[in-house]
Structure 1
Amino acid sequence: MSSSLSRSFLFVPANRPERFDKAAASGAHQVILDLEDAVAPAEKEVARGFVAQWSGRADAVVRVNGADSTFFAADMEMMRRAGVAKLMLPKAEPASIERLAASLDGPRHVIALIETVRGYAELRRIGASGLVSQLAFGNLDFGIDSGVTETTQELDPVRLQIALESRLAGLPPPIDGVTTSWTDPAAFGAAVGRAKALGFGAKLCIHPAQVKPVNDAFLPTADEVAWARRVMEAADGARGGAVALDGKMIDAPVIRRAELILSSA
């Protein structure tokens, strides 16, 4: 599946090759092999080898180490040699985007992970760089950098801005950050629902148990699909004339929303 159409992105530590195939079979639309936070410095080199040897590497996303780290050059060299085309850039800021651009030998699908206040402040430059294919929100690191503790909705204004800047840049809907718990379905469902309402189209997952709920949540509900079908039927019957449904006027924005729901379904 195209990364821009994917709804679930499942992290796997790149130093745990026994989990790679399991992650690919989990139903996740994209597997992210994580060379950054999940791998200790002493294990970076061997983890690169595991990524390069995995048969599914061409379809995976690799989260490289930060562009200002001592591991970045080796990560990019491995990706060139192994033919990995999709990468996630942590702590994306204009300077790190420039370093990434200088290290590329050809087109890549680049997911820019917004994890810092500076990255947030420079969203427009990042989106307009011509290098970034999609934005993602690194909510945990952003909370640390900003000093904001997220319990439920404290960072939702940041999410909304990321969604708006994605739209302005002509990028796909962004990817929401992780929810650390997978044992509370109600809380997890509420978090995914808020992200969807704020304009996000996907979510980062840290456990296979989160994959199916994410895949399902970002699809239109049965009620939304039924409403969209009724709108389209009413609009078709009106043949361009004014028409009301359930006491509300159906105009061009309503019809467009119905079309989007049906295409997503």
Structure 2
Amino acid sequence: MRALTPAEVLFEGDVPPAVMPPCDHYAGSEKLIRKSLALQAQLGPVFDVTLDCEDGAQVGQEASHAELVASFLGSDEDRFGRVGVRIHDFQNRAWRDDVRIILRAAKKAPAYVTLPKIHSVFDAAEMVAFVEASRCEFGIKHAIPCHLLIETHGALAEVFELAALPGVEALSFGLMDFVSAHNGAIPDTAMRSPGQFDHPLVRRAKLEIAAACHAHGKVASHNVSTEVRDMSVVANDAQRARNEFGYTRMWSIHPDQIQPIVDAFLPRSDEIVAATEILLKAQAAQWGPTRYQDTLHDRASYRYYWSVLRRAKASAQALPEGAETLFSQDK
């Protein structure tokens, strides 16, 4: 009998939850874009680079900035195909032009399109549909996933419906705009640590977003850390986001933040080794219960360890001998 892989047996016909690199680094100007792509080439695909049309474009220069963004997609500097774009929001007349300019001019489609300041499911559905229609119009073969930025009252109220939308790959929390939307009712200390993890309304928002993502197999992406000098603060923010709030990805707004975020979110080498050994034993037992180091395991724990290996592989971490056989049928 052929050895069945985790993807074939652990999700009972469902698509396994999405897995992405653990850091989403934003860059808007040409200088910062080039610097970010050079760093990605150096470190490998452990982080994505998001080219920013929303905050990166000067007023009146939206079209030229979209052309600039398009010029990097599929270029020699786009080494791994892990470059996305953030377009203007639904209320801004430039968002449709952003999509059309980028998809028409780029040598390669972006890895994803981030849609900011979502107010409702209707906004998001229209934007996702426009991205899909545009990629079909321009003959782009594969669908382009969309990431939704949750930073308004309306989006948070409909976050489970937003996470369920076809074509959506991830939800990101926009902390600064969310706090500002409360018009002073939440103090500015909640825009940074430790307040961002302690204020009840902000905690609620983070938890609702993460819960919605995990309910629908989407990636939960945590907000930025505003600290750009003390990287121990960034590392602690990332660890709390991962361990206490269930996020598997986090934004970066400064190159120095990337490595602490990656280190906090990537599986440790000992976790990868244990996951490989547990899953190989499970595979040999045709996915029945097994015992590993005096601990019993079954399909519930197998799914956890499979997520460890998938996250490691998605970020090009070294896998132990034999681990690749677990992916032979994985899509």
Q: 1:142 Cα shift? A: 1.3
Q: Which residue of 2 aligns with 1:44?
A: 62
The one-letter code of the counterpart of 1:202 is R
Write out per-residue CA displacement over residues 151-197 of structure 1, whole angstroms, 9 at most, x where no aligned residue: 241323322221211122222x3111111112122221111011112
Closer/same/farther in 2, CA of residues 184 and 64 from structure 1, 3 Å limit: same
Q: 1:36 Cα shift? A: 0.8
**Structure 1 unmatched ranges of 5 or more:** none
Aligned-partner Cα distance in 2 for 1:229–1:176: 28
Aligned-partner Cα distance in 2 for 1:252–1:81: 45
Q: Which residue of 2 aligns with 1:53?
A: 71
Q: Is the 8 A contact 2:275 2:309 kept in 1?
A: yes
Q: Is the 8 A contact 1:8 1:211 kept in 2?
A: yes
Pairwise CA RMSD: 3.0
Q: Which residue of 1 aligns with 2:317?
A: none
| Correspondent of 1:10 among 19, 22, 25 | 25
Aligned-partner Cα distance in 2 for 1:241–1:89: 43
Aligned-partner Cα distance in 1 for 2:277–2:217: 30
Closer/same/farther in 2, CA of residues 225 and 157 from structure 1, 3 Å limit: farther
Aligned-partner Cα distance in 2 for 1:124–1:38: 30
Mean Cα deviation higher: 3-12 or 181-190? 3-12
Closer/same/farther in 2, CA of residues 250 and 169 from structure 1, 3 Å limit: closer
TM-score for both structures, normalised by structure 1: 0.83
1:30 partner SS: strand
Q: Which residue of 2 aligns with 1:206?
A: 253
1:38 partner SS: coil
**Structure 2 unmatched ranges of 5 or more:** 1-17, 41-45, 136-142, 313-331
Write out per-residue CA displacement over residues 27-55 of structure 1, whole angstroms, 9 at most, x where no aligned residue: 36211111112333133232122112222
Q: Which residue of 2 aligns with 1:99?
A: 126
The question of 1:33 aligning with 2:37 is answered no
The question of 1:134 aligning with 2:183 is answered no
Report sequence identity in percent. 24
Aligned-partner Cα distance in 1 for 2:155–2:233: 28
Q: Which residue of 1 aligns with 2:226?
A: 180
Q: Which residue of 2 aligns with 1:113?
A: 149
Mean Cα deviation higher: 178-187 or 46-55? 46-55
The one-letter code of the counterpart of 1:136 is S
